[in-house]
């Protein structure tokens, strides 16, 4: 069909990159509507996880990550995405309207787009190699571009962050609704959503290891490190000045920017939200780690051991399930 500019192939190629974004429990809570020269992002509230994410914060962050992936994809394909966030106050699930303008892609944009299919959530332990401070500075700069603050947690902030993670894990362990939901969304084998068993290791029992979510059916081998080798994991927190839907959506865009930048450096990455899903532990992170700004995402960053096998890609729903072409319905904004 004649859509105008860009063509159908370009739009679908960018959307195929957008839906590779990480989302809470790989729930993929987004819908897309495509017009002549605009693409629209909507939240899919039917995919909100009430036990994990009762107020929808994780959902908005997930959608924001997909929005940033779309921007990166279009930029590499020769189109600048002009984003209008939350364009319709009467339609709160209409998260973004994206206008497209011709653009000459730069090397950095192409490199970032190439990181999208390579990015993985790696829950395994890290090696003892130190993450260079310059890499962390670059991630902080990319987060700042999205209107957020990226902080590396060093003591005493790291202590409080680690304790918040442990307290939240304990609170969830005593929450039947949360445990039931987590079991339903994990341990997957053939599903196009949820957390695959092949991507989840058994809990790390090494001294000082942070607790992870107790996903069902963990089948991924834990990374093997040398005897006595310490795990030099970096913990960092992304925060915003406010905690409204716009801030959460922008935090999702920043989450994508941080993860893709880390992937270009070859780092293993794992976004963490459990400590921010429990009101008390999120407040502890806000007061003790982020200096009163609102924490939206925690990152676990490091180098995978040299013997760590590559992770399989997590599945995604096909575009036809998440994309509506407005030309088919006679409406083409």
Mean pLDDT of the chain: 93
Residue at 315 is within a domain: no
Angle CA 145–233–222, to nearest 5:
120
Residues 161 and 257 in one domain: yes
What pLDDT does residue 99 have? 96
- DSSP count for the chain of H helices, then E strands: 9, 11
Residues 25 and 164 in one domain: no
Res. 205 pLDDT band, cuts 50 70 90: confident
The parent domain of residue 59 ranges over: 8-118+320-327
More confidently predicted of 212 and 242: 242
Distance CA 106, CA 75 (A): 8
Residues 205 and 57 in one domain: no
Q: Out of 194-198, 273-277, 321-325, 327-331, which region has the weakest mean confidence (pLDDT)?
A: 327-331
| Adjacent-strand bridge partners of 300 | 235, 270
Residue at 307 is within a domain: no
Residue at 314 is within a domain: no
DSSP-derived 3-state class of residue 132: coil
What pLDDT does residue 149 have? 98
**Chain CA centroid to CA 110, Å:** 20
SS (H, E, C) 66-124: HHHHHHHHHHHCCEEEEEEECCCCCCCCEEEEEEEEECCCCHHHHHHHHHHHHCCECCC
pTM of the predicted model as reported, rounded to 2 decimal places? 0.95
Name which of 239, 242, 248 is nearest 299 in CA terms. 239
CB-count exposure of residue 274 (10 Å: 0-12, 13-18, 19+): buried
Q: Give the CATH number, domain containing residue 32.
A: 3.40.109.10
Other Cβ atoms closer than 10 A to 2:
7
Decide if 301 contacts 130 (C-beta within 8 A). no
Which helix (DSSP H) or strand (DSSP E) does residue 30 occupy?
Answer: strand 30-34
Residues 44 and 148 in one domain: no
Distance CA 30, CA 117 (A): 19
Angle CA 233–238–244, to nearest 5:
155
Name which of 195, 192, 234 is nearest 213 in CA terms. 195
What pLDDT does residue 230 have? 56
Residues 47 and 87 in one domain: yes
What tens digit of pLDDT does each residue of 270-294 get? 999 999 999 999 999 999 999 989 9
What pLDDT does residue 232 have? 81
What pLDDT does residue 206 have? 80
Residue at 240 is within a domain: yes
Residues 38 and 96 in one domain: yes
Whether the bond into 6 is cis, omega within 30 of 0: yes
Residue at 280 is within a domain: yes
DSSP, res 19: T
Number of domains in the chain: 2
What tens digit of pLDDT does each residue of 92-142 get? 999 999 999 999 999 999 999 999 999 999 999 999 999 999 999 999 999
Residues 160 and 184 in one domain: yes
Residue at 49 is within a domain: yes
Residue at 12 is within a domain: yes
Residues 113 and 215 in one domain: no
- Dihedral angle sign, alpha carbons of residues 279, 121, 244, 321: negative
Q: Out of 54-68, 185-199, 224-238, 309-323, which region has the weakest mean confidence (pLDDT)?
A: 224-238
């Amino acid at each position: 069909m004649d859509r105008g500019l860009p063509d159908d192939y370009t739009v679908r190629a960018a959307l195929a990159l957008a839906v590779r974004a990480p989302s809470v429990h790989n729930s993929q809570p987004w819908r897309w509507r495509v017009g002549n020269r605009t693409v629209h992002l909507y939240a899919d509230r039917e995919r909100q996880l009430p036990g994990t994410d009762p107020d929808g914060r994780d959902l908005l962050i997930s959608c924001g990550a997909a929005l940033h992936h779309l921007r990166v994809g279009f930029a590499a394909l020769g189109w600048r995405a002009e984003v209008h966030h939350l364009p319709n106050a009467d339609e709160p699930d209409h998260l973004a309207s994206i206008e497209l303008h011709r653009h000459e892609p730069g090397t950095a944009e192409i490199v970032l787009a190439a990181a999208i299919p390579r990015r993985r959530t790696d829950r395994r332990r890290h090696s003892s190699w130190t993450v260079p401070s310059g890499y962390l500075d670059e991630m902080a700069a990319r987060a700042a571009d999205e209107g957020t603050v990226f902080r590396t947690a060093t003591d005493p902030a790291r202590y409080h962050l680690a304790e918040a993670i442990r307290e939240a894990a304990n609170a969830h362990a005593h929450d039947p609704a949360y445990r039931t939901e987590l079991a339903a969304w994990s341990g997957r084998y053939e599903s196009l959503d949820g957390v695959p068993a092949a991507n989840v290791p058994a809990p790390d029992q090494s001294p000082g290891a942070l607790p992870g979510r107790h996903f069902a059916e963990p089948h991924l081998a834990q990374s093997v490190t040398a005897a006595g080798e310490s795990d030099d994991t970096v913990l960092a927190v992304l925060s915003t000045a406010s905690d409204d839907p716009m801030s959460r959506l922008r935090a999702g865009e920043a989450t994508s920017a941080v993860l893709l930048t880390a992937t270009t450096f070859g780092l293993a990455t794992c976004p963490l939200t459990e400590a921010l899903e429990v009101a008390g532990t999120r407040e502890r992170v806000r007061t003790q780690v982020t200096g009163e700004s609102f924490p939206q995402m925690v990152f676990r960053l490091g180098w995978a051991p040299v013997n760590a096998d590559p992770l399989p890609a997590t599945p995604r729903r096909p575009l036809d399930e998440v994309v509506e072409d407005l030309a088919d319905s006679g409406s083409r904004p």
